[in-house]
């Protein structure tokens, strides 16, 4: 048996391609907020206003530019922006699961 065949057999066993905590969809809302839905159906609002407006926000400060903020996309289940900023999808899922609304801390 070749390694390639073994890999194909492992996929057939039922390994899932995407974890439940991965973001599946995102919509931009006013006020530096995002409406997100994860692979398992968990959904809620990510409020990035405190982070974006903080003097200590590093790379996230660039997202204060509304045009850049609106360029959010989902890459490999994570929220990402063209400037390299991103949010850990497992953290997003954990916080949204608790309260449906999460204010990203600074």
Quick: pLDDT tens for 87-101.
999 999 999 999 999
> Is residue 2 domain-resident?
no
pLDDT at 64: 96
What is the sign, positive or negative, of the torsion defined by CA atoms of 102, 26, 56, 84?
positive
pLDDT value at residue 14? 55
Question: pTM for the complete prediction?
Answer: 0.81
CATH number, domain with residue 97? 3.30.2020.10
Distances (CA, A) of 106 to 4, 5, 17, 48, 60: 45, 47, 32, 9, 10
Give the model's pLDDT for residue 19.
79
pLDDT top residue among 19 and 88: 88
* Sequence-ordered strand ranges (E) for the chain: 23-29, 33-38, 43-47, 73-75, 78-80, 86-87, 101-103
Of the pLDDT bands very low, low, confident and very high (cuts 50, 70, 90), residue 5 is very low
User: What is the total count of domains within the chain?
Assistant: 1
28-46 tens-digit pLDDT: 999 999 999 999 999 999 9
Instruction: Indicate whether 12 belongs to any domain.
Output: no
Residue 64 DSSP label: G
Strands 33-38 and 23-29: antiparallel
How many residues are listed for the chain in this entry?
106
Range of 39's domain?
18-103
Q: The tokens of 29 are what? A: 């809302």
> 63-93, pLDDT tens digit by residue?
999 999 999 999 999 999 999 999 999 999 9
Residue 7 lies in a domain: no
Q: Does some domain include residue 5?
A: no
């Amino acid at each position: 048996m070749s390694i390639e065949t073994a890999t194909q057999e492992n996929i057939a066993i039922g390994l899932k391609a995407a974890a439940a905590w991965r973001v599946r969809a995102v919509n931009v809302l006013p006020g530096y907020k995002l409406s997100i839905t994860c692979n398992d159906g968990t959904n809620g609002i990510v409020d990035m206003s405190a982070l974006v407006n903080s003097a200590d926000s590093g790379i996230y400060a660039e997202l204060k530019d509304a045009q850049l903020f609106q360029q959010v996309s989902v890459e490999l289940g994570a929220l990402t922006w063209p400037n390299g900023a991103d949010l850990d999808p497992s953290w997003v899922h954990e916080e949204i699961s608790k309260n449906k609304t999460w204010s990203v801390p600074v």
